Structure 1
Amino acid sequence: MEEKLSAVTKTITPSPIQQLSLLAQRCNAINLSQGFPDFPAPSHIKEAAISAINSDFNQYRHVQGICEYVACKMKQTQGLDVDPLTDIVICCGQSEAFAATMFAIIDQGDEVILFDPSYETYDTCIRLAGGVPVYVPLDPPCWKLDPDKFIKSFTAKTKALVVNRKETDTKWHSPHNPTGKVFTKDDLEIIAGACRTWDILAVTDEVYEHITFDNEKHISLATLPEMQKRTIVTSSLSKTFSVTGWRIGWAIAPARIALAIQNIHVKVTDCAPAPFQEAALTALRSSPQYFDSLRRDYQSRRDFIHELLVKVGFPMQFRPMGSVFVFAELPESCTLSDVEFVEQLIKQAGVVAVPGSGFFHKSSCSSTFSYQSRYIRFAFCKSFDTLNIAAQKITGLVKETGRLELF
């Protein structure tokens, strides 16, 4: 029988990150590829989930209380008034919230602007919804936004753009996966201004809202003038509470858009896991001290992996201001591509990272963009036991010159 797959399905390839994670399991290697913690979730949250299961919260369930706590958090941290009854949709993680958002707002042929490099899921969701990703390359090594390139990416077909970011008193930052890109205030004003001028929507991924470093404070794009009515915020419990497998996330949007996202969510999955919805109430009530401790712990992990990579010869021209990843450039002396380097790192050190080229896209490539095969992403959301073992394995390859044999 002739193959009956859809045309868009044939364009979707397996995730290299998941493939590398499976390889790490098979090879018993240290997994610094996928962004999930290998340390326990907070005990009070786990106990809440166990209690919910034992209390038979195991059927279809829509816990409105989560929406109330999310709305309260947005008011406390961002100063935004969000109606928990109409503006919030609880989904199966941020990934489903993002996908449902794309299906809710995108028509066939609509263009969606992404910054390149970018997280691979965005591209796939846009294409499945019938949209066309349009990539605006950020210029290395500091991943600067070129305003001319950005403005020229808009057309009559542009429907939305995707951005994740945070703000401080002096700068506006983006805990961008994979780079840790830092936007200036001028950059973000250009982005918000373009949204207003072209009357388009902004979709933000704010899963790292509580994982920011060096006393930086996260501020949502929706707080900019006239942006709340055109911004869809997506986030989740996953990173903040070390429960990436629970799949509890949400979308925050103007009521009419939120209703469309809700309708799609219900048709696809009906509801997020019931006992974990119940446990989310406990998670969202966590004390300010919990979030302060989270930031300190992750910052120490970031510093550890950053110093390790500097020690073995990576240039490391900047360090991430948020998220759980380091995007490290290979030194000029390294003759291997990113894929070749990762392969050798697995074989010789038993450590798995992710080739950076998987985060770049052909539509933004040119022959001058050789840097696209020169970056490696390391995840540092691991226990210090794991990070120390990885450090020992990596430094075990260091030559007398103080640089990795792979260089």
Structure 2
Amino acid sequence: MEQKLSSAAKTFTPSPIQELSHLAQRSNAINLAEGFPDFPAPSHLKNAAISAINSDFNQYRHVQGICDHLANIMKEMHGLDFDPRTDMAICCGQTEAFAAAVFAIIDQGDEVVLFDPSYETYEGCIRMAGGIPVYVALEPPHWTLDPERFINSLTARTKAVILNRLTNMKWHSPHNPTGKVFTKDELETIAGACRRRDCIAITDEVYEHITYDNMKHISLASLPGMQERTIITSSLSKTFSVTGWRVGWAIAPAFFASAIRNIHVKITDSAPAPFQEAALTALRSPPEYFEKLRREYESKRDYIVQMIEGIGFQIKFKPRGAFFLFAELPENYLLSDVEYVKELIKQAGVVAVPGCGFFHTTLSTEKLSQVGCRYQKRYVRFAFCKSSATLAAAAQKLAELSDAMGCDIGGKNA
């Protein structure tokens, strides 16, 4: 009966990240693969959800109060005016908000520009909508954007550009999964191209409150001429450690937001009602909550950088936001990223993600000669949104493995 599957269904395979997470569960391994916290969600949020369930907020529901709070937040953080009645769409997590945004604007044959390496979900949504992903390779080791390469990637068929969460300290923007920060010139190149080509920007801003080194989040929509052509997507998941609640949103000009809402209703009808009620409690959290969150994640970031450097990985720069470390294998490693991850699971009981799954393009021969033709198989992503106990246990296992091998895994002297 396989022939009965649609062409879209035949295109997709299981997510490597989710497969590795399932492997971690089956083998009782430490999961540094998938980006979900293994520590409790804030008590005040859980109590709010329980109260909502007990108050029978258990049917289809749209909580307008979420939109009111989001409008206030956008005004306070970015100076942007959005109408909470028309410019918001509450969805089942950022993933659905992003997918609905893509379905709302992309037609068969439309091209969508992404930066490579790139988060895997984006391409799937674009292809399901009939769009064509066009990847612009960032150059290692600092993942630099070549303005000419980016401009040349835009054609008469380009409809949209996809960007990760943006943060600001002299206009910087961390990129997922590398932790690279876009310079002011790079961001202005992207925004300027969108304006000249009349392209739409879709931003993924789920890590807006998880930034480091005194950097402050800023939305691309706040750049001149960008609010009218930007769809912002975000959620509760990362900021409030509730990745399973599936409450997210899209914020955009009314004609975009209306289309996204209509698509959302046709697919899922409504986000979980009691968690929408709890979202009101989350969005009312005091500034101290967000500062504490930032400090704790920055400490975890510094810990895992030290841990991974301690087993020989090359850390060219620290991530400036989110909770992933994209680390390069040591020069003397003979194993590829996939081979290393397999050995890591087998010998240490720790699961990470091979970086090759985030790459989709090949640099020119000239560039490859400069950086090494195997660079796309030289990176491993580690998630550090884990408890201190989990990170300490992982550090111990990795250290023991290095000692047992006589040197780092896959090294020439192993």
Q: In the alignment, is the contact (CA less than 8 A) between 1:116 and 1:364 conserved in 2?
A: no
Q: CA deviation at 1:397?
A: 1.6
Identify unmatched segments of 5+ residues in structure 2. none
Query: What is the distance in 1 between the residues matched to 2:354 and 2:2?
Result: 35
1:385 partnered with 2:401: no
* One-letter code aligned to 1:188: L
- Render the CA deviation track for 1:300-333: whole Å, top value 9, x for unaligned: 0000000011111111010100001000000110
Query: What is the distance in 2 between the residues matched to 1:169 and 1:141?
Result: 22
- Render the CA deviation track for 1:166-216: whole Å, top value 9, x for unaligned: 243324122x22111110000000000000010000000000000000110
Question: Counterpart of 1:395?
Answer: 399
Query: What is the distance in 2 between the residues matched to 1:83 and 1:137?
Result: 37
Change (3 A) 1:250 1:12: same
Change (3 A) 1:2 1:245: closer
Q: Size of the alignment, in residue pairs?
A: 405
Q: In the alignment, is the contact (CA less than 8 A) between 2:354 and 2:379 conserved in 1?
A: yes
Question: Counterpart of 1:349?
Answer: 348
- Render the CA deviation track for 1:207-252: whole Å, top value 9, x for unaligned: 0000000110000000000000000000000000000000000000
Q: In the alignment, is the contact (CA less than 8 A) between 1:399 and 1:405 conserved in 2?
A: no
Change (3 A) 1:365 1:27: farther
Taking the TM superposition and a 5 Å limit, the aligned residue runs for 1:316-335 are 316-335=315-334
Taking the TM superposition and a 5 Å limit, the aligned residue runs for 1:233-252 are 233-252=232-251
**Identity of paired residues, percent?**
68
Question: Counterpart of 2:35?
Answer: 35
Q: CA deviation at 1:347?
A: 0.5
Question: Counterpart of 2:357?
Answer: 358
Taking the TM superposition and a 5 Å limit, the aligned residue runs for 1:158-173 are 158-173=158-173
1:370 partnered with 2:374: yes
1:112 partnered with 2:116: no
Question: Counterpart of 2:143?
Answer: 143
Change (3 A) 1:257 1:364: farther
Question: Counterpart of 2:258?
Answer: 259
* One-letter code aligned to 1:343: K
Q: CA deviation at 1:164?
A: 1.7
Question: Counterpart of 1:10?
Answer: 10
Q: CA deviation at 1:7?
A: 1.5
Q: Secondary structure at the match of 1:37?
A: coil
Question: Counterpart of 1:182?
Answer: 181
Question: Counterpart of 1:81?
Answer: 81
Question: Counterpart of 1:92?
Answer: 92
Query: What is the distance in 2 between the residues matched to 1:80 and 1:106?
Result: 25
Query: What is the distance in 2 between the residues matched to 1:115 and 1:403?
Result: 35
Query: What is the distance in 1 between the residues matched to 2:230 and 2:74?
Result: 14
Q: Secondary structure at the match of 1:113?
A: strand
Q: In the alignment, is the contact (CA less than 8 A) between 1:135 and 1:364 conserved in 2?
A: no
Query: What is the distance in 2 between the residues matched to 1:2 and 1:200?
Result: 38
Q: In the alignment, is the contact (CA less than 8 A) between 1:207 and 1:239 conserved in 2?
A: yes
Query: What is the distance in 1 between the residues matched to 2:259 and 2:158?
Result: 20
Query: What is the distance in 1 between the residues matched to 2:281 and 2:143?
Result: 38
Question: Counterpart of 1:130?
Answer: 130
Q: What is the root-mean-square deviation of aligned Cα atoms in Å?
A: 1.4
Question: Counterpart of 2:198?
Answer: 199
Question: Counterpart of 2:215?
Answer: 216
- Render the CA deviation track for 1:11-53: whole Å, top value 9, x for unaligned: 1111000000000001000000000000000000000000000
Identify unmatched segments of 5+ residues in structure 1. none
Q: Secondary structure at the match of 2:409?
A: coil
How high is the TM-score relative to the length of structure 2?
0.96
Q: Secondary structure at the match of 2:181?
A: coil
* One-letter code aligned to 2:45: I
Q: In the alignment, is the contact (CA less than 8 A) between 1:136 and 1:364 conserved in 2?
A: no
Q: Secondary structure at the match of 1:289?
A: helix
Query: What is the distance in 2 between the residues matched to 1:190 and 1:348?
Result: 46
Q: Secondary structure at the match of 2:176?
A: coil
Query: What is the distance in 1 between the residues matched to 2:165 and 2:273?
Result: 30
Question: Counterpart of 2:409?
Answer: 405
Q: In the alignment, is the contact (CA less than 8 A) between 1:313 and 1:403 conserved in 2?
A: no
Change (3 A) 1:57 1:113: same
